[in-house]
Amino acid sequence: MKKEDYHFSYEVYDSINDLTGQDALLLSEARKVTASAYAPYSNFNVGAVAELENGEIVKGTNQENASYPVGLCAERSLLASAASLFPNVAINTMAISYNNVNGQSNRPISPCGMCRQSLVEYEERVNKPIRLIMSGQEGKVIVVEKADALLPFSFRSEDLK
């Protein structure tokens, strides 16, 4: 038996005020776009905003459905829009925020497993990492240099060959 470790580094900021201008702008927009989410069942509104390599800004929100498996997370909503509107254009940075209508929104949360897999596939497709900025409506901010770091044992296209 051989034991191995997996480690990755990330940055933690006390607030949006500690971010650079563009990062603060993306996070501010992600916080605002949560208002456009359709989340009547969970009341957990999620927004994602990305800056693409070509300078375009794309937004996504979670879209719930009474048949729960039919819903779509904000991150995957954004990825689908980006891929449709700007095929094969890499995403430089994606900011993700949420507004928990029934509680607090003051700590960072990370993408769900399905979104992590989708983010890794997008990175693989365009051959560039996606930097993630994660925060609630206020409070600490976490920055991860590549989405791949959140899913070290991802299923990849090469596994199907």
Give the tens place of pLDDT for each residue, 20-39: 999 999 999 999 999 999 99
Q: Domain span at residue 140?
A: 11-153
Whole-model pTM? 0.96
| Cβ atoms < 10 Å from Cβ of 35 | 10
pLDDT, position 119: 98
- Asked if residue 19 belongs to a domain, the reply is yes
3 part of a folded domain: no
Q: With a cut of 70, list the residues of the chain below it in pLDDT.
A: none
Q: What is the CATH number of the domain that holds 50?
A: 3.40.140.10
Q: Provide the pLDDT for residue 157.
A: 84
Q: Can you give the pLDDT at residue 60?
A: 98
CA–CA distances in Å: residue 6 to residues 119, 143, 149, 152, 158: 19, 18, 9, 8, 21
- pLDDT tens for 112-137 read 999 999 999 999 999 999 999 999 99
Q: Are 52 and 92 in contact (CB under 8 A)?
A: yes
For the chain, first and last CA: distance in Å?
28
Q: Is position 140 within any domain?
A: yes
Tell me which residues are annotated as active site.
75
Would 87 be classed as within a structural domain? yes
CB 142 within 8 A of CB 136: no
Q: Residue 155 has what pLDDT? A: 87
Q: How far apart are CA 156 and CA 42, in angstroms?
A: 31
Confirm whether 159 is domain-assigned.
Answer: no
Distance of CA 106 to the CA centre of its chain: 17
* Tokens (6 digits) for 59: 């937004």
Q: Is 49 helix (H, G, I), strand (E, B) or coil?
A: strand
In a domain, 124, yes or no: yes
Give residue 127's pLDDT.
97
Q: Is residue 5 part of a domain?
A: no
Considering its fold, how many domains does the chain have in total? Answer: 1
Residue 123 placed within a domain: yes
